[in-house]
Structure 1
């Protein structure tokens, strides 16, 4: 018994009542279908007794691999393919950004001790800590009703460039300090000023204690910054007073922002 294959036409031709109609295939298609007892190897029928051809969507047989998707893409498994490691092997985000929280904490605690400053902690300069303390200083000022973020960042940059030029002129052949390290030292010395700014939120503006605390903060920050800078080169103590004076001017300006 011969069966006649039919196919659905999608060429836009409509049959009666505007519906798609079934048409018989060409003669050479009928001959091929009569000469073969079953469907084409490339076509999988939807079931026995149906002559409509359908394409296969068997991804496993088409790719020649039955591996799970997690092993192929490198996600969700411990193995890696194509150089992509698993999430467990990825370093922390702060480490990728170069932010060492432990080191920043040690430097901050070192500067909060007014009697002893350890310069060895500042041999590895960074800008994460100074930026953090500038933001704390600015947020404390914002809580006091003063918007000084741009002023704080601008004064810190200008002061760092000024100290960089002055220090290298004084040091001469004894040594030099790069601008990156100078910005780091000036920024970390803002820790007492940031603490003073947070305390001043709870103090009345006409309090005499506010002015006394501001003077102590200037001496504290100036002494810390001076000690850190003169210890960068040998015989730095010879021009200690020349470095202490501009440092005092810098932190006086920051303290005036807090007081007024």
Structure 2
């Protein structure tokens, strides 16, 4: 019994080996996993099958049904200014909006300040930004510079100190509370009437009756607009005068900077 099993195993093992069978049936033919180069082709200057997607005798990769690794639409190259936008990407907001600069919101808030008699929406500062206030502050300082009053340092100092003071007072007076970012945004947007007075100072001297009248009017306008927004956002209608008083003092400092030249005595 043991002898029969040995003979059958020996007979089967002599017939099953792959290399001996392939060599015996097809002498002189290379192994099956090796594909010789086509007749007449050279290795270096001709075709390089390993770089063209051919895998031995199995054909190219595309014939095996392998899906490509990358897909989608290829965007055409546009002008150089397309690098500063997101117009070629679906669902992406504009680049300036991603940076916090939304001209639609700036225009809406500016119109709210310029029309103080209209009703203010309590959710107007849900999307607060500093792009508009920074623009107004730079314009205000530039107009004063053209009128012979370089007051950039005083403008930034008064604005920073005033914003911190108003932020502290509003959080002490209201139950809802407000963050410093929104306080600076409201105060900056409501500076727009004062920017107009600064533009007039380039053509007209404000150190006189006309200048005093325009400065007083701009202070009242800025104070009314800012207090209206703060009262609407914080729901402090019963404390309107208490909110308007410190805001009026702040804009009064800006009015003094636009009327008088603070550094004139030092320069002499």
Find the counterpart in structure 2 of residue 155 from structure 1: 158
Find the counterpart in structure 1 of residue 211 from structure 2: 210
Other structure's SS at 2:51 match: helix
Q: How has the CA–CA distance of structure 1 residues 61 and 207 changed in structure 2, closer, same or farther, with 3 Å as cutoff? A: farther
Structure 2: gaps of 5 or more residues: 1-39, 55-70, 79-85, 261-268
Which structure is higher in RCO with an 8 Å CA cutoff and minimum separation 6? 2
User: What per-residue deviation string (whole Å, max 9, x for no partner) do you get for residues 177-234 of structure 1?
Assistant: 1111111111111011111111121112444111100000111111111111122223
After TM superposition, what 4+ stretches of structure 1 lie above 4 angstroms from structure 2? 71-75
Find the counterpart in structure 2 of residue 111 from structure 1: 113
2:267 pairs with 1:250: no
Alignment length, in residue pairs?
196
Give me the whole-angstrom Cα distance separating, in 2, the residues matched to 1:72 and 1:203.
61
Q: TM-score, normalised by structure 2?
A: 0.64
Q: How has the CA–CA distance of structure 1 residues 135 and 117 changed in structure 2, closer, same or farther, with 3 Å as cutoff? A: farther
Give me the whole-angstrom Cα distance separating, in 2, the residues matched to 1:114 and 1:130.
18
Find the counterpart in structure 1 of residue 22 from structure 2: none
Whether the 8 Å CA contact 1:111–1:117 is kept in 2: the answer is: no
Q: How has the CA–CA distance of structure 1 residues 87 and 170 changed in structure 2, closer, same or farther, with 3 Å as cutoff? A: closer
Give me the whole-angstrom Cα distance separating, in 1, the residues matched to 2:87 and 2:213.
53
Whether the 8 Å CA contact 1:223–1:244 is kept in 2: the answer is: yes
Find the counterpart in structure 2 of residue 181 from structure 1: 182
Deviation of 1:87 after TM superposition, in Å, equals 5.8
Q: How has the CA–CA distance of structure 1 residues 64 and 146 changed in structure 2, closer, same or farther, with 3 Å as cutoff? A: farther
Structure 1: gaps of 5 or more residues: 1-37, 45-55, 66-70, 79-85
Whether the 8 Å CA contact 2:167–2:178 is kept in 1: the answer is: yes
Find the counterpart in structure 1 of residue 30 from structure 2: none
Q: How has the CA–CA distance of structure 1 residues 203 and 161 changed in structure 2, closer, same or farther, with 3 Å as cutoff? A: same
Give me the whole-angstrom Cα distance separating, in 2, the residues matched to 1:73 and 1:103.
33
Find the counterpart in structure 2 of residue 228 from structure 1: 229
